[in-house]
Amino acid sequence: MKTLAIIASGCLCGAAFAQDGSEDYLNFIIQIQSDANKTTHKLNDVTPKGNSKALEGVTGSSVFQLWTIHRTKGTEHLLDEKIVSSYHPEAQITILTDDPYKGIPRTRVDRPFTVTTTVDGLITNDPNVQDAAKSVVFEHKATNYVAQGVNGASQTLQGAIDKNGTTRETRLTTLNGPDLTQINGEEEFTVYARPDYGVEESHMLAKAKVQIWPIASATMTGINTEAWHLKLPNLQIDLKNLYPDSITYVRVYEGKPKPNPPKLFIINTSYVKIKDTTPQDRNFAISGKELGITQKGLYTVELLHETPFGIDILSQTYPLKVKDGIKVVGSLNTSE
């Protein structure tokens, strides 16, 4: 039980009938308990700026109503109403991803994220308390973006948390669409206190959001893998949905595709660095002389995308067949 020491003017305000002729009005407070019988108590009369003790205290929750009644006419008016609870559930939600970005947590559609929910203040050892004291509502809402800054369809799931403590869940996105790799949207997790006596709507206790971005894609055209080249071809690069924190570039090395080629050429002019809040598209051309090839042989050309999640190969072409006698004018950049 929670003892409410005073109900002051800062809690229940009713100055409308106390400005003129205040001696004609009697002010009093009614306490309505949230028990099965809705037990009602009349507190001591109060002056326009007075206070009164809740002698019965508060078990569960109580509604306090401030009334005024005209002493001679008998007309009465409800001036204000407040709810006081003997419990106060609290909640906290945090979302952690592999992206260290300091703004709204974000991740890629193929990467997991962890939702940590902490709830405290629930009454778990008294079956007679009202439902609002026993549990809170946990809501998960997933919303697809249909355009930048524009929300589309959403789906919402609700459940209950009836224990104090911390739960931690690592999950993949529940967003859906025709091409899962190109999904983008947001997932929102919220904890609500249940409606209580006299309060019809739920009260939000905690909320957290994570943004889900698609997997980058690319096309790299210009190389005919069937032909031998005496003149190195020009390349056309088309990049889609580059991750908001990423570096993309083209590398070339001799021989078949390898996970860790011992010697490679990185084309400096192909670097695309993104530091943004949303995925980005880019397109550009690379001239043959920028490929850094000066000798005959079979070469692999790859387009790499570095993000907080690692390095992905967006495009890979083999073989680029180079004839003997090739002539190249330009600089060579190597990384070993």
The whole-number pLDDT of residue 302 equals 98
> Where in 3-122 does DSSP place strands (E)?
25-33, 40-42, 61-70, 76-85, 90-96, 106-108, 113-120
Count of other CB atoms within 10 angstroms of residue 63: 19
The whole-number pLDDT of residue 157 equals 94
User: What gap in Å lies between CA 239 and CA 164, rounded to an integer?
Assistant: 48
Which tokens go with 217? Answer: 């894609």
Listed as ranges, residues in the chain with pLDDT below 50 are 1-11, 14-20, 329-336
Which tokens go with 207? Answer: 């909320």
Task: Write the pLDDT tens digit of every residue in 35-90.
Answer: 667 778 887 777 766 666 665 566 666 778 888 888 887 888 888 877 676 667 89
How many helical (H) and strand (E) elements, i.e. helices and strands, does the chain have?
A: 1, 21
Cβ neighbours of residue 223 under 8 Å, at least 6 residues apart?
233, 235, 301, 317, 320
User: What gap in Å lies between CA 131 and CA 60, rounded to an integer?
Assistant: 10
The whole-number pLDDT of residue 197 equals 57
Percent of the chain's residues with pLDDT above 70: 82
Which tokens go with 34? Answer: 């949230």
